[in-house]
């Protein structure tokens, strides 16, 4: 009887790592499709109005040009509800600067790009809403039911009678996700009604459904292939207009077409994180017990499409507050539709909440950690449900120990090192933990010498976070095999349907499906034998006992019953040490520690990488990232990495992650909570709080650039 080797929870290196570092991993436009043509977009240069005429004659005369498509000759489609941002040339209306006006298809990318520059467009301009400050007062209640006002207790009375209060406005700017791989698509029509899309998709089956509905096809006749993604951060969660236009282009020239967005196009093609103005009011007793909390967010969305990120979610259940008010107001503007961006709502909302908590702690002359612990809720305040598990206090305690919080000087400007003010800051974060329906196939093969291999297949996706590896680990331990005996096939809609790599549901959904599939295979094989086992048999032993060379089974995994009776979240505590130059205001995060409680950690190596990635983005959110609109025209003045700043290596100091040993037997069978989102939540607030501790200056508008500190 073979003894099972522990694989889940081990720091296994990525099984697809060799492919990536040697350049053999295929991303969307890397597939060697023969006879491929190239499409290049041209875009509107007004923010509101109509396209009155388009002169394409010069472009059509360029050598190699195969087609020029505009709203005049575009195929008539039925846009799916899953299509994000429109832009598929169905009319001549213009709703934001950079909306798709058409595309050129040519033999080469260079020919298509050159020809696109020759297009001449005449517009009828309309008054455009591009300045948020001017239109903020036009904000109204969102249409979505889950963004309705949430009121608990009597906030007004409790706030008025609060012994100590904070009443401030916190602002986060428009930000753009800029993954390493910009969005790109290859479209291939295999027949009049069969389409293959090579596209970097976080939700494989979601893109499949959106494309199928838009073109009036059966979903089974649309195949989406996306084995590698190259980052997405939410921007690749749905089908944007360029995906549809790639398929339209392929149909127009009757051959495969490759369409890739330039880095500049990314700023007005695939959504953004919207600007949020958050009015945060917090009241407490003299000994630090919270009595009232209001978190009121005013934001913007597109003219004809609403999206409002849930900034108040963290405030709803982070601390025990008997009286609260959470609300949203949204103004329609001539800006591309906002969309999910890593930690949507929670990363932005936590900046406001956790900054306010820090301000209250300073007024109370309390340690910010002890103030948070004092208001730890026994159950979820937003709905009264018990926690499936909650580790905020442990995150704060262990994180403080790892960081050296005891060395903090409470009084601002008390720690001076040469030309620098040094400060410590802390902030907490959270993100929901969920499992979604996912199916998987497990194939077992017994080769020569009783060598057994397993193939795992499902339409999951890998953003670059290590999905292939954690699934191989799950299968290896469950089947009693080595990781190198497992092959994982994902990123193809032809495989069993799966949840997406969004909202921190990926690991829990994929791994539980693989786990259940492997158990099912073992149980079915054991039923085919008459043997009794004292210890759980391995897949190799069962195939041998059943005298089978091959066995295959499928599982359709669902969340366990009763999980909706509990409140399940991942939690963290973030600690930042900043050094602020006394003369220039330049700020650097010298050290950063994240303590995270996220249930069962499948692979600490890849998990550490995710937490570090979230932390770096949070540092960028705090100090660097901001997309600026020129209100005269509605276009983004920031449209490349020359002017849209992200952290470089020199901006980031020592990064450390600590995982809490948290066992959650309720959230799902494997106890997985997910960490893809929570890594960024609370980070910006920790940095902002550290800057206050260093300088005595409270900055409530991100990013905290040197001009705000001098």
Residues 379-421 have pLDDT tens digits of 999 999 999 999 999 999 999 999 999 999 999 999 999 999 9
pLDDT tens track for 670-687: 999 999 999 999 999 999
Residue 441 lies in a domain: yes
481 conformational bin, left if phi > 0, alpha if psi -120 to 50, beta if neither: beta
Q: In this structure, is residue 410 part of a structural domain?
A: yes
Section 110-139 average pLDDT: 97
Model's pTM, two decimal places? 0.97
Q: Specify the DSSP element, H or E, that contains 209.
A: helix 204-215
pLDDT in tens, 134-175: 999 999 999 999 999 999 999 999 999 999 999 999 999 999
Contact 282, 272 (CB under 8 A): no
Q: Inform me whether the pLDDT recorded for 55 exceeds 90.
A: yes
Last residue of a domain, one of 218, 245, 268: 268
> In whole angstroms, what is the distance from residue 455 CA to residue 514 CA?
11
pLDDT tens track for 540-575: 999 999 999 999 999 999 999 999 999 999 999 999
Q: Distance between CA atoms of 382 and 343, rounded to whole angstroms?
A: 19
* Cα dihedral value 491, 496, 498, 501, nearest 10: -10
Residue 52 lies in a domain: yes
Find, among 507, 510, 453, the residue nearest to 484 by Cα: 453
Do 260 and 294 belong together in one domain? no
Same domain, 377 and 455: no
Q: Which among 222, 251, 268 is the end of a domain?
A: 268
Query: Each residue of 246-285: pLDDT tens digit?
Result: 999 999 999 999 999 999 999 999 999 999 999 999 999 9
Q: What pLDDT was estimated at residue 3? A: 63
**What is the per-residue pLDDT for 2?**
55
Residues 6+ apart with CB under 8 A from 593: 399, 402, 403, 574, 575, 656, 657, 658
CB neighbours of residue 668 within 10 Å: 26
**CB distance 49 to 55 below 8 Å:** no
Residue 187 is assigned to a structural domain of this protein: no
Catalytic-residue membership of 133: no
Q: Find all residues with CB under 8 Å of 650, minimum gap 6, and list them.
A: 588
Is the confidence at residue 100, as pLDDT, over 70?
yes
Residue 4 clears pLDDT 80, i.e. is over it: no
Q: Environment class of residue 686 by beta-carbon count within 10 Å: exposed (0-12), middle (13-18) or buried (19+)?
A: buried
| Distance in angstroms (rounded) separating the CA atoms of residues 451 and 436 | 34
> pLDDT tens digit string along 184-243?
999 999 999 999 999 999 999 999 999 999 999 999 999 999 999 999 999 999 999 999
593-649 pLDDT, tens digit per residue, is 999 999 999 999 999 999 999 999 999 999 999 999 999 999 999 999 999 999 998
Residue 363 vs residues 62, 165, 406, 423: alpha-carbon distances, Å:
69, 9, 20, 17
The beta-carbon contacts of 12-18 under 8 Å, at least 24 apart in sequence, are 12/469, 12/472, 12/473, 12/483, 12/603, 12/605, 13/469, 13/605, 14/466, 14/468, 14/469, 14/606, 15/468, 15/469, 15/472, 15/483, 15/488, 16/228, 16/462, 16/468, 16/469
Question: What percentage of the chain has pLDDT greater than the value 90?
Answer: 96
Residues 223 and 154 in one domain: no
116 CB-near residues (< 8 Å, 6+ apart):
40, 41, 42, 59, 103, 104
Q: How confident is the model at residue 531 (pLDDT cuts 50, 70, 90)?
A: confident
Average pLDDT over residues 495-502: 97
Residue 677 lies in a domain: yes
**Mean pLDDT computed over every residue of the chain:** 96
CA atoms within 13 A on the CB side of 707: 4
Using the 3D structure, point to which of 558, 587, 602 is the last residue of a domain.
Answer: 558
Residues 473 and 535 reside in one and the same domain: yes
The pLDDT of residue 448: 82
Residues 346 and 398 in one domain: yes
pLDDT of 449 above 90: no
295, 308: one domain: yes
Question: Whole-angstrom Cα distance, residue 360 to residue 291?
Answer: 12
To which residue do tokens 């969660």 refer? 237
Average pLDDT score over residue span 528-543: 90
Could you check whether the bond before residue 703 is cis, i.e. omega within 30 degrees of 0?
A: yes
pLDDT for 450 beyond 80: no
Note whether 679 and 589 are same-domain residues: yes
Residue 188 located in a structural domain: no
Q: In terms of domains, do 424 and 460 share one? A: no
Q: Residue for token digits 């020759």?
A: 118
User: Considering its fold, how many domains does the chain have in total?
Assistant: 3
| Overall average pLDDT of the 462-474 stretch | 96
One domain, residues 296 and 403: yes
- For residue 10, is it within any domain? no
- On whether residue 585 sits in a domain, the answer given is yes
Q: Please tell me whether residues 219 and 256 are part of one structural domain.
A: yes
| Beta-carbon contacts of residue 639 (< 8 Å; ≥ 6 apart) | 264, 267
Query: Is residue 597 domain-shared with residue 698, that is, in the same domain?
Result: yes
Helix ranges (H only) for 25-176 are: 57-60, 109-116, 132-135, 155-160
3-state DSSP assignment of residue 346: helix
User: In the chain, helix, strand, coil percent, each to 5?
Assistant: 30, 30, 45
Contact between 271 and 240 (Cβ < 8 Å): yes
Q: Which of 95, 175, 296, 677 is catalytic?
A: 677
What is d(CA 154, CA 292) in angstroms, rounded to the nearest whole number? 8
**What's the pLDDT at 86?**
80
Pick from 401, 395, 367: nearest CA to 689: 367
- pLDDT for 84 equals 82
Tokens 């706030």: give the residue.
Answer: 159
pLDDT at 82: 82
Q: Which domain covers residue 202, as residue numbers?
A: 31-126+195-231+236-268
Assign residue 417 the CATH number of its domain.
3.30.365.10
Based on the domain organization, do 500 and 625 belong to the same domain?
Answer: no
* pLDDT interval class at 123 (50, 70, 90): very high
Asked whether 199 and 243 are in contact (CB, 8 A), the reply is yes
């Amino acid at each position: 009887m073979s003894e099972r080797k522990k694989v889940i929870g081990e720091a296994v290196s990525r099984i697809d790592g060799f492919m990536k570092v040697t350049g053999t991993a295929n991303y969307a436009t890397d597939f060697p499709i023969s006879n491929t043509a190239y499409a290049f977009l041209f875009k509107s240069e007004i923010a509101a109005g109509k396209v009155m005429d388009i002169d394409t004659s010069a472009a059509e005369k360029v050598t190699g040009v195969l087609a020029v498509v505009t709203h005049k000759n575009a195929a008539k489609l039925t846009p799916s509800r899953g299509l994000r941002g429109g832009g598929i040339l169905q009319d001549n209306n213009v709703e934001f600067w950079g909306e798709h006006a058409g595309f050129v298809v040519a033999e080469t990318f260079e020919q298509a790009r050159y020809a696109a520059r020759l297009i001449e467009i005449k517009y009828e301009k309309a008054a455009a809403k591009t300045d948020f400050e001017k239109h903020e007062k036009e904000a109204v209640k969102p249409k979505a039911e889950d963004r309705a006002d949430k009121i608990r207790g009597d906030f007004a009375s409790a706030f008025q009678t609060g012994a100590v209060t904070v009443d401030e406005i916190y602002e986060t700017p428009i930000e753009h996700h800029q993954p390493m791989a910009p969005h790109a698509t290859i479209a291939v029509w295999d027949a009049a009604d069969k389409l293959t899309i090579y596209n970097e998709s976080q939700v494989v089956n979601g893109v499949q459904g959106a494309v199928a509905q838009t073109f009036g096809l059966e979903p089974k006749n649309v195949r989406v292939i996306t084995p590698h993604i190259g980052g997405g951060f939410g921007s690749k969660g749905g089908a944007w207009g360029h995906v549809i236009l790639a398929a339209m282009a392929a149909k127009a020239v009757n051959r495969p077409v490759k369409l890739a967005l330039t880095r500049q196009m990314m700023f007005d093609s695939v959504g953004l994180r919207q600007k949020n103005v958050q009015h945060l009011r917090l009241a407490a007793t003299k000994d630090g017990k919270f009595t009232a909390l209001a978190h009121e967010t005013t934001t913007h969305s597109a003219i004809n499409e609403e999206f409002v990120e849930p900034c108040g979610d963290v405030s709803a259940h982070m601390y025990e507050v008997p009286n609260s008010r959470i609300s949203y107001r949204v103004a329609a503007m001539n800006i591309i539709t906002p969309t999910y961006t890593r930690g949507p709502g929670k990363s932005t909302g936590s900046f406001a909440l956790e900054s306010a908590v820090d301000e209250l702690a300073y007024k109370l002359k309390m340690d910010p950690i002890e103030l948070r612990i004092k208001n730890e809720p026994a159950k979820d305040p937003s709905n009264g449900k018990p926690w499936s598990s909650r580790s905020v206090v442990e995150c704060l305690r262990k994180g403080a120990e790892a960081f050296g919080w005891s060395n903090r000087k409470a009084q601002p400007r008390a720690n001076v090192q040469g030309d620098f003010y040094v400060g410590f800051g802390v902030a907490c974060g959270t993100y929901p933990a969920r499992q979604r329906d996912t199916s998987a196939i497990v194939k077992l093969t017994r080769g020569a010498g009783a060598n057994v291999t397993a193939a795992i297949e499902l339409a999951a996706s890998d953003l670059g976070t290590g999905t292939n590896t954690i699934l191989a680990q799950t299968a290896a331990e469950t089947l009693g095999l080595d990781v190198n005996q497992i092959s994982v096939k994902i990123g193809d809609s032809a495989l069993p349907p799966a949840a997406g790599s969004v909202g921190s549901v990926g690991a829990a959904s994929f791994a539980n499906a693989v786990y259940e599939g492997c158990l099912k295979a073992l149980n079915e094989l054991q039923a085919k034998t008459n043997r009794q086992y004292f210890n759980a048999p391995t897949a190799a032993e069962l195939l041998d006992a059943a005298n089978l060379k091959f066995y295959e089974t499928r599982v359709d995994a669902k969340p366990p019953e009763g999980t909706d009776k509990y409140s399940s979240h991942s939690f963290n505590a973030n600690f930042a040490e900043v050094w602020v130059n006394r003369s220039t205001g330049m700020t650097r995060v010298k050290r950063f520690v994240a303590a995270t409680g996220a249930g069962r950690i499948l692979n600490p190596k890849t998990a550490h990488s995710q937490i570090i990635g979230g932390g770096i983005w949070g540092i960028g959110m705090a100090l660097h990232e901001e997309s600026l609109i020129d209100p005269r025209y509605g276009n983004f003045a920031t449209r490349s990495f020359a002017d849209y700043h992200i952290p470089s290596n020199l901006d980031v100091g020592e990064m450390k992650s600590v995982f809490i040993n948290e066992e959650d037997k309720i959230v799902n069978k494997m106890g997985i909570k997910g960490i893809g989102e929570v890594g960024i939540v609370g980070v910006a607030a920790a940095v902002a709080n550290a800057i206050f501790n260093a300088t005595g200056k409270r900055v409530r508008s991100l990013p905290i650039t040197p001009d705000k500190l001098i």
